[in-house]
A and B are shown apart, each in its own frame.
Chain A
């Protein structure tokens, strides 16, 4: 069975500071890993994904994440936080395939990012 743990339900950073959101996964097979962002009262937007290619994945809005198999981690980072980054971030793992393609995601419980002036 697959699972995701996001350490810290709330993270607060100053504008311009490094953003680090932690995600650890458990999977019995090589996983696909995803980060999604959710702004208030909206759906989830894909930030980036790891699908067994390069271990350092670059996404939208200046975010990136590094897949570390030895640590079973997929932490999300951004060098310099912006006020517009304030949102909830979800890490997700998939090692279950739906017949005919696609996949079933298991989500973490989310990390609310607050950016302060």
Chain B
């Protein structure tokens, strides 16, 4: 069966520091991959999606970037974090028309 893992689960970072959140999917090949951010009272916002290695689409302008160095690996990065980057970040993958989510990563920028 397919599984998705993301880490770290919790992260506290100072303003201006870099960020790297990693996500891997197992049990499937060539999945579509997604990064969502969840802010309190605002639902979930799609940040990036990828349909293949090296193919990244950005949905909103922001201080973040994404990369897909391998088929089942998706990385969310920032060179310099802002306070507004705090939130709950969710990696996801899709099979057909259904999206499945990872456990999420809490990022607090202080």
Contacts and interface: CB of A to CB of B under 8 A. Distances in A.
Contacts of A104: 34, 46, 49, 59
Nearest to B9: A41
A102 B95 CA distance: 6
B110 interface: no
Contact of B98 (A46, A108, A109): A46
A51 B96 CA distance: 11
A90 B49 contact: no
B94 A101 contact: yes
Contacts of A24: none
A109 B41 contact: yes
A102 B99 contact: yes
Interface residues of A, number: 27
A44 B90 contact: yes
A96 B59 CA distance: 13
A87 interface: no
A45 interface: yes
A92 B32 CA distance: 18
A41 B104 contact: yes
A90 to B, nearest CB: 7
Given A100-B51, A102-B94, A102-B96, A43 B101 contact: yes
B104 A49 contact: no
Contacts of B106: 41
A77 B59 CA distance: 32
21 contacts: A41-B104, A43-B90, A43-B101, A43-B102, A43-B103, A44-B44, A44-B101, A46-B98, A49-B97, A90-B43, A90-B44, A92-B44, A94-B97, A99-B51, A100-B51, A102-B32, A102-B49, A102-B96, A104-B59, A107-B45, A109-B43
Given A44-B101, A51-B97, A102-B51, 17 more contacts: A41-B104, A43-B104, A44-B90, A46-B100, A90-B44, A99-B51, A100-B32, A101-B94, A102-B32, A102-B95, A102-B99, A104-B49, A105-B44, A105-B46, A107-B44, A109-B42, A109-B43
Interface of A: 9, 32, 34, 36, 41-46, 49, 51, 90, 92, 94, 98-105, 107-110
